[in-house]
Amino acid sequence: MRVGVLTGGGDCPGLNAVIRGIVRKGVPVYGYSFLGFRDGWRGPLEALTKPLDIPAVRGLLPRGGTILGSSRTNPFKEPDGVAKIKSNLQQLGVDALIAIGGEDTLGVATKLHEMGVNVIGVPKTIDNDLNGTDYTFGFDTAVNIATEAIDRLHTTAESHHRALIVEVMGRHAGWIALHAGMAGGANAILIPEVRFDIEQVCRWVESRFRLDYAPIIVVSEGAMPKEGDEVLVSDEKDAFGHVRLGGIGDWLAREIEKRTGKEARTTVLGHVQRGGTPTARDRWLATRFGLHAVDAVHAGQWGMMTALRGTDIEMVPLSEATKELKVVDPSLYAEAEVFFG
Amino acid sequence: MRVGVLTGGGDCPGLNAVIRGIVRKGVPVYGYSFLGFRDGWRGPLEALTKPLDIPAVRGLLPRGGTILGSSRTNPFKEPDGVAKIKSNLQQLGVDALIAIGGEDTLGVATKLHEMGVNVIGVPKTIDNDLNGTDYTFGFDTAVNIATEAIDRLHTTAESHHRALIVEVMGRHAGWIALHAGMAGGANAILIPEVRFDIEQVCRWVESRFRLDYAPIIVVSEGAMPKEGDEVLVSDEKDAFGHVRLGGIGDWLAREIEKRTGKEARTTVLGHVQRGGTPTARDRWLATRFGLHAVDAVHAGQWGMMTALRGTDIEMVPLSEATKELKVVDPSLYAEAEVFFG
Amino acid sequence: MRVGVLTGGGDCPGLNAVIRGIVRKGVPVYGYSFLGFRDGWRGPLEALTKPLDIPAVRGLLPRGGTILGSSRTNPFKEPDGVAKIKSNLQQLGVDALIAIGGEDTLGVATKLHEMGVNVIGVPKTIDNDLNGTDYTFGFDTAVNIATEAIDRLHTTAESHHRALIVEVMGRHAGWIALHAGMAGGANAILIPEVRFDIEQVCRWVESRFRLDYAPIIVVSEGAMPKEGDEVLVSDEKDAFGHVRLGGIGDWLAREIEKRTGKEARTTVLGHVQRGGTPTARDRWLATRFGLHAVDAVHAGQWGMMTALRGTDIEMVPLSEATKELKVVDPSLYAEAEVFFG
Amino acid sequence: MRVGVLTGGGDCPGLNAVIRGIVRKGVPVYGYSFLGFRDGWRGPLEALTKPLDIPAVRGLLPRGGTILGSSRTNPFKEPDGVAKIKSNLQQLGVDALIAIGGEDTLGVATKLHEMGVNVIGVPKTIDNDLNGTDYTFGFDTAVNIATEAIDRLHTTAESHHRALIVEVMGRHAGWIALHAGMAGGANAILIPEVRFDIEQVCRWVESRFRLDYAPIIVVSEGAMPKEGDEVLVSDEKDAFGHVRLGGIGDWLAREIEKRTGKEARTTVLGHVQRGGTPTARDRWLATRFGLHAVDAVHAGQWGMMTALRGTDIEMVPLSEATKELKVVDPSLYAEAEVFFG
C-alpha cells in the first residue's frame, strides 16, 4: 500500500514528529511506502510531492515546522479541485491519505472521505480548540513559551511599577491565555469566550498596585470588551489605506493608561509561539498520533482521526472534530478568577 | 475553619504551586485560615509549624521545592505517633489537614482518616506511578529535563561514535524513561516492568552504528537484565564497607563495551530531575489540585484525594492511590519498541 | 561607613546580582552597612529607602529586575534637586553612593561627583552601548532571548514560505541585532549605525527564497532606511491623536510584501528581552561588578566606574562611559554581511 | 586553493558553527573549495574525507557536535604518520589545513606546521584552559548548563535539608566550576588549582545549615583534598578488577555525611555539559573564529591560530596556546571566596 501524507494550515510544533511516527512504523511493521505531498492540499491538487522514507525522517523529532510545507489551499474552492486530487492520487498510485491539520484541513478531509477518498486525519492546532480530543499537540509548547515570557515580564513590571499586557494566540478560544495565565501567575486573563469589562480590569490593576506588585494581564488576540467591537475601531489607516483595528493588547494598554494613570506596555508574542522545538509532551503526543494514524490506515478506519482521551489514543469520526469549536468552559474560567486582581 | 497543610516524601516541582492554590482560594472564598506544618509528618508530630497566609505564598508559583520542607517521617513508626498528632492538631486548633505526598505520605493520610482525622490528599510523585490519577505534577518537568539532556547527548554521541546511556529516575515504574525516551528519540528504553535481554540491547546498539548513527539508551534506575540481580552484584565495597551494587547505567556501559567493542558512556541525571521551576503544565495541574483540595475541605470530602481524569479534576478515595503502583502497560511499551535499534 | 545603593533607568537582568555582590562583600569584609534607595534618583531625592543587609539579598542572584525599583527621575531637572540629595544623604548618614545605571543615571552620578558627592558607578544597559567597558551585563541575556526567538522563527518561516522580521531593542546602537542575528543565522541584519537600502533587502529576501529557504531579517528598533525618516511617517493617528510612526519592523514587512509579492510577518520582541533570570555570563559579570564596586568604595575611587576589559574588571572614569555612545564598528558589521542574502 | 578542515579531541558546542563560518566566507569571498577530513587527524592520515560546500553547512549554526566527527588519533604516534598525511594532502590537492581542536590537536598542528604543512589553528575546549585566548567557544554553553543544574538543585537541597554536590568538568583547570559556582550561588567551589581542606568544607556546610539554608558545593572533577590522592584510593575494584578511585564528588558526599552527620548527595553532570545547541555567545565566537581562520588562510598566516582578546579576534602563534595550561588565577578564586559558607 502506498500512503500519502500532507500537513495543512498554520504550522505547529510536533508536525514533523507525527510524520516521523507514521513512517517509522508504517515501513517496517506494515510494509507501506509513503509519499509526501507538499504545502497542504496544494500537494495532491497539483501533484507536488516529496519522497518520504526512513532516511527522510531521521532527526525530525525535535524539529519545529513541517518538512512537507503547508498552505491554506482549499481544493473545494479550486475548479475541478476534487477531480484533480482523485486523478493525481490514482496516477501516483496513492491508496490512502493521512491529512494532518486543523479545522479547515480536516474539513476538506471529511468531505473527500464522503466522496470516496481513503482518508485518516490527525488533528493539529496550537490553539487547542478542536473537538473530539482532550488536547492537540503544539498547544503545550505554545503555553510553555508564553509562560516563560510571562515569567520574564514579572520582574520588569515590578521594577518599573508598570502594568504589562501579554497578547497570546487564540482568535476564537482562550486556551493558551487561560493555561499560560494560570501557569504564569497573571492577575487577569481575558479570553474570547467572555466579554470583559474594562472598568473591572482597571480595578484589578489598581488593587494589584496597592499591594506594591505590578499587574500582568494575559489576553487572547480574540478577546473583546463588553462595549463591543466598535471601541477598537478608529479612523487610523495603515500604509495600504486600510482602517487599522489595532490589536486588543495595544487597546488595553491605552485604556489602562488613560483610566488608571499608570504606565502600561504590551508584548505581542506572535509567531514565536508556534515555531521551534516541541516540548517533551508534544513530541510524545505527536509521535503517538503518528503511530495510531498508520495503525488506522492498516485497519481501514477511513474518515476517522486520532484523538487523545485521558492517557489513551482513540479513533473518532473526523466530523466530530470539525462540527464546532472547543471553547473554554465557564467553570474552568471561574477557577482562574480566584487569582485575578 | 483552620486547615493544616504539609508536604511529605521526595520533593517535586509543583509542591509550592499546590500550597499557593490552596491558600489563594481558601482565604478569600471560604474564609479559612491556614497553618503550615514543616517537614512532612514530622510537623504535626512535633508541632513544627510555619505561618501560611496570602503574603507567605506570593511568588511561589514558579519555585521548585517546598517552602514547608519535607521528610520521610512516619508517625505510625513513632511511639504514640497518632495520639501526638491528634493532640497537636487539637491544641493548634487545626480542624482539617491537606496532605500532599506520594505513596507513603498518602498511606499515612489514609490511616489517619480511618482513625477520625479530617484529611484531604493531593497525590505527588515525579515518577507518575500513583494510581487513581492520569498524571501527577512534577512528572512533566522531570520528563522535559530528561528529554533536554537526551537532545544534548545525541550530538556528542555521534561526534564520538559512542553509545550513550542515560539513567533516569524510576525504581518501580518506567514512566520517565518511556516518555523521555520516546520524546528524545532513544534507540532503546529499558524499564523496571520488563526485564531486558542484554544481548538484544547490544544488537540494537550495533544496528544503529551500522547506519552510521550513535545509539542513545534510556534506562530507569530500577530496570533489570533478564539474568537477574546477581549480575549486578560484585564484591566491591564502598567507603563504609557495604557491597556496592553499582547503578544499572554503569553496568550497561561496561557490558556494551565488553560485548560490542564500542565505547559507551553513562550519564546519571539524578536530582536535577526533581528540582527547579515546574513546566507550565505542572504549574497548571498543581494549581488546580490545590484549588480542588480546598474545595474538598469545604465539601467535607474526608479521605478523598484530587485526581486528574482527562481534562477534569475529580475526587477519588485516598485508598485508590495507594493500593498498588501504576506501572507501564505492556501495550504502551510495545508502541515505543518500533523505534528501538 | 554607610553606603547607599540605587538602580536607575530601564531594568536589566543582573541588577539584583550586582546589589547582592556589593552587600555580600561589603558587610563581612569591610564592615560597611548599606541602605537601599528606591526607584533610581527619586530615592535619594525624596529619601525613599529600603533596608539592605545580607538577609535582604538572599536568593537574588537568579532574579531579574531590581528589588530597589527604578525610575528615570533626574535630580538636575527637579527644583533644588542636588541640595535635597546632599541633605538627605547627610541626614541618613550615608557616606557614599553606588549608582547602577545607564547613560542618564551615570551622567547624574558624574555631575554629583563633581559637586562633591562620593559616588562609584556601575554601568548597566542591555543595549551594550556604553563606552569604557567591553560589555555590560544584561546584554548577553537579551541576545540569548532574541536568538532563541530567531531559532523558533526559522521553522515557521520555512513551513509557510514567508519572510519573518524580528525587531529587537537598540535605538542608537545595533549590538543586540548584530549578535543575535549572527547567532541566529539571520539573512539580513539592519542596525541604526548603517542606513539600509530597502531594494537591497528585497534582493536578499528573493535570493533566499530562490534557494528554497525562508529569510529571517533581524532589525534594531532604531534602524532606518536610506530614504530617511519621512518614509515611515504616515498620517495615521493613534488613539490619543498623535501621528503614528509605526515600528520599523512593521514598515519592513509591508515594504517587502509590496515589493516582492511574498508574505512577510513581524515579531516585536519587546520587554521579554529585558526581564527574567540572567544568563550565567551576566550573573558572573554583574556579581564581579558588585564586588569591585565595593572595593572601589573602600579605595575611595570616587567618580570611577567598574568596567570589563578582556577578562579583567578595571576602574575607569565615569566620564568615559557617558561621553559618547559605543556603536557598532563598520568592520564588525562587515563580518556579518557574508551571511546576508 | 583547496582547504582541508578537521575537528579533533572532545566535542564542543560551536564546532559546527566554526565549520560553517569557514565555508560561508571562503567560498564566495576567496573562491576556495573545501574538503572535510573525518574524525580528527585520522582523516588526513587515512584519507577519510567528506564533501564540504555551502549546502553541506546549511542549518549547522545551532547544532552541537561536529559533522566531521572527531577522534584522539595522533599521527606522531602512528608509523610514518606525518609522511602519510603529507602524501594524502598532496594527492587530494589540499593546499592548507584548518585544524580545530584542543591542546593535543593543536600540538600536532604546531609540529606539522614546523614540518612545512600550511596549517591554521582554531582553539577549542569547553574547559577554557587554552592559553592565548580570553575564552574558547563551548565554555559558555557548558557554564550555562551547569548553572541551570545548580539552580534546580537549590530548591531540592533546601526541601530536604541536604548538602548537594555538583561535579563538573575540569581535570586540570577549574574554570567551569568557578564560573558556574559563582553564577549558581554555590556555597563552596573546589578547583584543581587549589587543594581543599575537607574540614574547612565541612565548616562551610555547617554554617550554611545554621542559617537554615542547604549548601551547594561545586567541584571540578580534578579537584583534590589537601591530604592528597591517597585518600581517594580504596581497595574497591570495579567489574574489570581495576581499583576504583571513585569520583571526587562521591568522595565529598561520603566525607561530608561522615563528618557532619548531614545527608549529602552528588550529581555528576557529565556529557550533557558538552552536547547540544551552543549559547548565542558561543555561536558568535565560533562563527567569528571560522571567519578569521579563513582570512588567515588567505593571508598565509601559517602556524597561527585565532584568539579572542577583549572584543577582537586576533591571530596568535599556535605555540602560544599549547605551551602551558591556562589555570585559574588565585586572585580570581579569592573573589569567589566571599560567597563560601
Who contacts D142 (Cβ-Cβ below 8 Å, separation ≥6)?
A: D13, D126, D168, D169, D176, D180, D273, D274
Residue A243 clears pLDDT 50, i.e. is over it: no
* pLDDT the model gives residue C320: 86
Closest partner CB to C156 (pick from A164, A251, A271): A271
CB C297 within 8 A of CB C3: yes
Q: Is C63 on the interface with A (CB under 8 A)?
A: yes
The 8-class DSSP code of residue B278 comes to P
H helix runs in A161-215, sequence order: 175-184, 198-210
The nearest CA of chain B is from the CA of A88 a distance in Å of: 31
User: Is C271 annotated as ligand-binding?
Assistant: yes
User: Which strands form D96-101's sheet, in the order they lie side by side?
Assistant: D49-52, D33-37, D2-7, D96-101, D119-123, D304-309, D312-317
- β-partners of residue A34 are A3, A52
CB C310 within 8 A of CB D309: yes
Q: What are phi and psi of B52, to 5 degrees?
A: -140, 90
- What is the C-alpha to C-alpha distance for residues B53 and B26, in angstroms, rounded to an integer? 10
Residue D243 clears pLDDT 50, i.e. is over it: no
Nearest to B15 by CA among A84, D155, A261, C122: D155
User: Is C82 annotated as ligand-binding?
Assistant: no
User: Which strands form B312-317's sheet, in the order they lie side by side?
Assistant: B49-52, B33-37, B2-7, B96-101, B119-123, B304-309, B312-317
pLDDT band at B213 (very low <50, low <70, confident <90, very high): confident
Residue with cell 507538499: A38
Q: What's the whole-number mean pLDDT along residues A34-56?
A: 97
Measured between beta carbons, the chain D residues lying within 8 angstroms of C338 are 24-25, 28-29, 291
Per-residue pLDDT of A157-194, as tens digits, reads 888 889 999 999 999 999 999 999 999 999 999 999 99
Catalytic residues of A: 127
User: Is C10 annotated as ligand-binding?
Assistant: yes
Q: Is D98 on the interface with C (CB under 8 A)?
A: no
Measured between beta carbons, the chain D residues lying within 8 angstroms of B151 are 275-276
Q: Is C144 on the interface with A (CB under 8 A)?
A: no
Nearest to B317 by CA among B296, B298, B327, B302: B302
Residue D244 clears pLDDT 70, i.e. is over it: no
* pLDDT the model gives residue D267: 92
Measured between beta carbons, the chain C residues lying within 8 angstroms of A146 are none
* pLDDT the model gives residue D228: 67
* pLDDT the model gives residue C17: 98
CB C280 to CB D311 under 8 A? no
pLDDT band at B237 (very low <50, low <70, confident <90, very high): very low
The 8-class DSSP code of residue C278 comes to P
B-contacting residues in D 12-31 (Cβ below 8 Å): 15
Report domain extents, chain A.
2-137+278-322, 140-275
Residue with cell 558545593: D217
Q: What's the whole-number mean pLDDT along residues C74-78?
A: 95
Who contacts C8 (Cβ-Cβ below 8 Å, separation ≥6)?
A: C40, C41, C70, C71, C72, C73, C99, C100, C101, C102, C104, C105, C108
Per-residue pLDDT of A257-276, as tens digits, reads 999 999 999 999 989 999 89
* pLDDT the model gives residue C239: 43
Q: What's the whole-number mean pLDDT along residues D276-290?
A: 97
Catalytic residues of D: 127
Per-residue pLDDT of D12-30, as tens digits, reads 999 999 999 999 999 999 9
In a mutational test of the A interface, the residue from C71, C141, C160, C162 whose CB has the highest number of chain A CBs within 10 Å is: C160
- What is the C-alpha to C-alpha distance for residues C240 and D227, in angstroms, rounded to an integer? 74
The greatest distance separating any two alpha carbons of chain A, rounded to the nearest whole angstrom, comes to: 70
- What is the C-alpha to C-alpha distance for residues A294 and A317, in angstroms, rounded to an integer? 16
In a mutational test of the A interface, the residue from B311, B326, B337 whose CB has the highest number of chain A CBs within 10 Å is: B311
CB A108 within 8 A of CB A100: no
User: Is D36 annotated as ligand-binding?
Assistant: no
* pLDDT the model gives residue B158: 85
Burial of A55 (0-12, 13-18, 19+ CB in 10 A): exposed
Per-residue pLDDT of B143-165, as tens digits, reads 999 999 999 999 888 888 899 99
Who contacts A299 (Cβ-Cβ below 8 Å, separation ≥6)?
A: none
Residue with cell 545525541: B154
B2-137+278-322 and B140-275 agree in CATH topology: yes
User: Is C53 annotated as ligand-binding?
Assistant: no
User: Is the CATH code 1.10.530.10 the one for domain A2-137+278-322?
Assistant: no
- β-partners of residue A24 are none
User: Is C265 annotated as ligand-binding?
Assistant: yes
For D33, the 3-state DSSP assignment is strand
- What is the C-alpha to C-alpha distance for residues D300 and B49, in angstroms, rounded to an integer? 73
The nearest CA of chain D is from the CA of B39 a distance in Å of: 8
* pLDDT the model gives residue B162: 92
Q: What are phi and psi of C302, to 5 degrees?
A: -60, 145
Q: Which string of DSSP letters, residue by residue, matches A75-142?
A: GGGSTTHHHHHHHHHHHTT--EEEEEESHHHHHHHHHHHHTT--EEEEE--TT---TTSS--TTHHHH
* pLDDT the model gives residue D247: 86
Nearest to B221 by CA among B269, B185, B188, B253: B269
- What is the C-alpha to C-alpha distance for residues C11 and C15, in angstroms, rounded to an integer? 7
Closest partner CB to D29 (pick from C135, C146, C338): C338
ipTM, two decimals, is 0.94
* pLDDT the model gives residue C230: 56
CB C65 to CB A159 under 8 A? yes
* pLDDT the model gives residue B212: 81
CB D179 within 8 A of CB D314: no
pLDDT band at D237 (very low <50, low <70, confident <90, very high): very low
* pLDDT the model gives residue C190: 98
Query: Beta strands B49-52 and B33-37: pairing type?
Result: antiparallel
| Angle at D140 (CA atoms; ends D187, B212), nearest 5 degrees | 120
CB D42 within 8 A of CB D78: no
C-alpha cell at D283: 555561536
Measured between beta carbons, the chain D residues lying within 8 angstroms of C310 are 134, 309-310
Q: Is B326 on the interface with A (CB under 8 A)?
A: no
* pLDDT the model gives residue A237: 47
Cα-trace Rg, chain D: 22
User: Is D10 annotated as ligand-binding?
Assistant: yes
- Look over chain A and give the mean of its residue pLDDT values, rounded to a whole number: 93
Per-residue pLDDT of A88-101, as tens digits, reads 999 999 999 999 99
- What is the C-alpha to C-alpha distance for residues D144 and C147, in angstroms, rounded to an integer? 15
- β-partners of residue C307 are C314
Residue with cell 498596585: A209
Per-residue pLDDT of D183-232, as tens digits, reads 999 999 999 999 999 999 999 999 999 988 899 999 999 999 997 655 56
Q: What's the whole-number mean pLDDT along residues D115-133?
A: 96
Closest partner CB to A182 (pick from B25, B151, B287): B287
Nearest to D162 by CA among D216, D219, D220, D218: D216
- What is the C-alpha to C-alpha distance for residues C177 and C183, in angstroms, rounded to an integer? 10
Residue B239 clears pLDDT 50, i.e. is over it: no
- What is the C-alpha to C-alpha distance for residues C74 and C39, in angstroms, rounded to an integer? 11
Burial of C161 (0-12, 13-18, 19+ CB in 10 A): middle
Nearest to A215 by CA among A193, A184, A236: A184
Residue B245 clears pLDDT 70, i.e. is over it: no
Per-residue pLDDT of A108-123, as tens digits, reads 999 999 999 999 999 9
Residue C261 clears pLDDT 90, i.e. is over it: yes
* pLDDT the model gives residue D220: 97
CB A288 within 8 A of CB B335: yes
* pLDDT the model gives residue D138: 97
Per-residue pLDDT of C93-150, as tens digits, reads 999 999 999 999 999 999 999 999 999 999 999 999 999 999 999 999 999 999 999 9
Measured between beta carbons, the chain A residues lying within 8 angstroms of B151 are 62, 277
The nearest CA of chain B is from the CA of D182 a distance in Å of: 18
C-alpha cell at C147: 536568538
Q: What are phi and psi of D267, to 5 degrees?
A: -120, 125
Give the C-alpha distances (Å, rounded to integers) separating C278 from A38, A156, B59, C131, D278: 41, 12, 18, 22, 17
Closest partner CB to A335 (pick from B140, B213, B288): B288
Measured between beta carbons, the chain B residues lying within 8 angstroms of A288 are 335
CB A147 within 8 A of CB A320: no
Nearest to C61 by CA among C306, C305, C286, C291: C286
Residue C8 clears pLDDT 80, i.e. is over it: yes
- β-partners of residue D7 are D100
- What is the C-alpha to C-alpha distance for residues B98 and B15, in angstroms, rounded to an integer? 12
Length of chain B: 341
CB C291 to CB D151 under 8 A? no
- What is the C-alpha to C-alpha distance for residues A147 and A151, in angstroms, rounded to an integer? 6
Catalytic residues of B: 127
pLDDT band at C246 (very low <50, low <70, confident <90, very high): low
User: Is the CATH code 3.40.50.460 the one for domain B140-275?
Assistant: yes
Give the C-alpha distances (Å, rounded to integers) separating C222 from C182, C195, D296: 18, 10, 34
* pLDDT the model gives residue B228: 67
CA trace torsion C103, C106, C111, C112 (10° rounding): 150
- What is the C-alpha to C-alpha distance for residues C56 and C20, in angstroms, rounded to an integer? 9
In a mutational test of the B interface, the residue from A333, A335, A337 whose CB has the highest number of chain B CBs within 10 Å is: A335
CB B161 within 8 A of CB B262: yes
- What is the C-alpha to C-alpha distance for residues A254 and A244, in angstroms, rounded to an integer? 15
pLDDT band at D156 (very low <50, low <70, confident <90, very high): confident
Residue B240 clears pLDDT 50, i.e. is over it: no
The nearest alpha carbon in chain C to D310 belongs to C310
Residue D240 clears pLDDT 50, i.e. is over it: no
Q: Is A47 on the interface with B (CB under 8 A)?
A: no
**Which helix (H) or strand (E) covers residue C66, if one does?**
none
What's the number of CA atoms in the CB half-sphere (13 Å) around residue B286? 38
Please tell me which chains touch A, using 3 or more CB pairs under 8 Å as the contact test: B, C
